[in-house]
Amino acid sequence: MLAVPHARLATPAEHASATREVRAQYASLPQDAPVRLAKRTSNLFRPRAAAVGPGLDVGAFDRAIDVDPVSLTARVQGMTTYEHLVEATLAQGCTPLVVPQLKTITLGGAVTGLGIESTSFRNGLPHESVLEAEVLTGDGEVVTATPDGEHADLFRSFPNSYGSLGYALSLTIEVERVHPYVALRHVPFHDLSAVTDAIAAIMRERRWDGEPVDFLDGVVFSRDEAYLTLGRWADSLDEHPDGPGTRPSDYTGQQVFYRSLQQRERDLLTVRDYLWRWDTDWFWCSRAFGAQHPLVRRLWPKSRLRSDVYWKIVAFENRHKVMARLDERRGRPARERVVQDVEIPLSRTAEFLDWFLREVPVEPLWLCPVQLRPDPLRGGEAPVTGSSPWPLYPMEVGTPYVNVGFWSTVPILPGRRDGDTNRAIEDQVHELGGHKSLYSDAYYDEETFAALYGGADYALVKKRYDPRGRLPSLYDKAVRAR
């Protein structure tokens, strides 16, 4: 087993008690006001209406209940952060099949809001590893949803529902065994089509240049500079590229991980540091706060180099507009937030990247290949190639995709308005047969949104599990910011 900080599990009795309390709390909330979660942190970037009245306190649901290294399953409370979940699973020599990049993303959030990472080319998305979901629904009931049970409709529609159908109190998920280290190879490319050709080959063969590939993502720095990072499990420091016994690289302090792609061909990280390699600098977004400047970085406490700290800085700016007012006084144009993740079919990804790099002044871009798992839903029949088993985010079985992530701002030029760039991106993603995640700004009209995000299926499930509309609808949350 790997040495990690102790993570105390919740006992079944503690979970049952918390469940009774949250049901009573839900019943006591005003019937005529939308229900919201009373959370102090978030990984959402879309604006939200100011909270009115008390929220639903789910703070008691932030622990794993059981991790079984024999059956390779774990039962986990829905509001458990991946930081806490990884501690609990690593203690048993396991990890979730997909660990999203940021420590404070919750398991329930990754399932209802979609998560992704470098294992997604082989393990799909977090909701595909769910075996059972215990959900507090909009009508205040607690139901257990499975792929083929009484609540199979909720099981299929829960992914990408963003809390509009209910909240996960616990989830039983698959996990996989880990090795102590991850060996990395950063492969450079100077042509976007060559990047996507290589992704196709790796997704098909799970190998590159004679080496196995267990992890796959990449960064596009510019039109003629991109890297795919190929990772494989490693068991010993003897596999370190700088020689046997060399300490693993450490990107939690002075060194910045994404810059290492340009600086070294091979690397070796502990499994924990690999899983959180993007959290320390919020990918590359910490540069906006000066955290990558050598002097600032020496003074910045190492414990505060993490994504939730940067998010709080952004939230403060969104509320108080300090930098926006300074820019206005300096005569600089207002800026539009362009913070999105989009899934593009692999066959159209080079086309999207070419368009984006021509039309949107944002670099770098993150690439994360993903495809739905080919094995059948637990207990159900195997999905047919070309079908979509998850109606609210209808990626097709058998189709490889690439998640393209970009997180920055662009100037609002004369004659343009805030949102124009995001609308253009939405149009291009739709034209190329892709979808975008809904954690940030969205501008779709209701008809288009329903067509893209399972409108008819969603309406039926919403009516069954939230008949009084106590929870805001998916469109209200994602577009109207309610």
Name the pLDDT band for 158 (thresholds 50, 70, 90): very high
* Token pair of 318 as six digits: 């969104």
| Residue 125 domain flag | yes
pTM of this prediction? 0.94
- Percentage of residues in the chain having pLDDT higher than 70: 93
Give the angle 195-201-203 at the CA atoms, nearest 5°.
100
pLDDT, residue 322, reads 81
Pair 122, 202: CB distance under 8 Å: no
Residue-wise pLDDT tens digits, 186-223: 999 999 999 999 999 999 999 999 999 999 999 999 99
pLDDT, residue 315, reads 85
Residue-wise pLDDT tens digits, 376-424: 555 455 566 667 899 999 899 999 999 999 999 999 999 999 999 999 9
| Residue 468 domain flag | no
Lowest mean pLDDT among 42-46, 117-121, 220-224, 326-330: 42-46
Exposure letters 111-130 (e unless 16+ CB within 10 A, then b): bbbbbbbbbbbbbbbbbbbb
Pair 153, 460: CB distance under 8 Å: yes
| Residue 53 domain flag | yes
Region 252-275 average pLDDT: 97
| Residue 360 domain flag | no
**Residue among 132, 73, 128, 126 nearest 98 (CA):** 126
| Residue 442 domain flag | no
Residue-wise pLDDT tens digits, 58-116: 999 999 999 999 999 999 999 999 999 999 999 999 999 999 999 999 999 999 998 99
Range of the domain at 164: 12-178
For all residues of the chain together, what is the average pLDDT?
A: 92
Count the alpha carbons within 13 Å of 312 in the hemisphere toward its beta carbon: 9
pLDDT, residue 34, reads 86
| Residue 35 domain flag | yes
Torsion angle defined by CA atoms of residues 475, 476, 481 and 482, in that order, rounded to the nearest 10 degrees: -160
| Residue 404 domain flag | no
CATH of the domain at 33: 3.30.465.10
| Residue 16 domain flag | yes
56/45 Cα distance (integer angstroms) = 21
Number of domains, the chain = 1
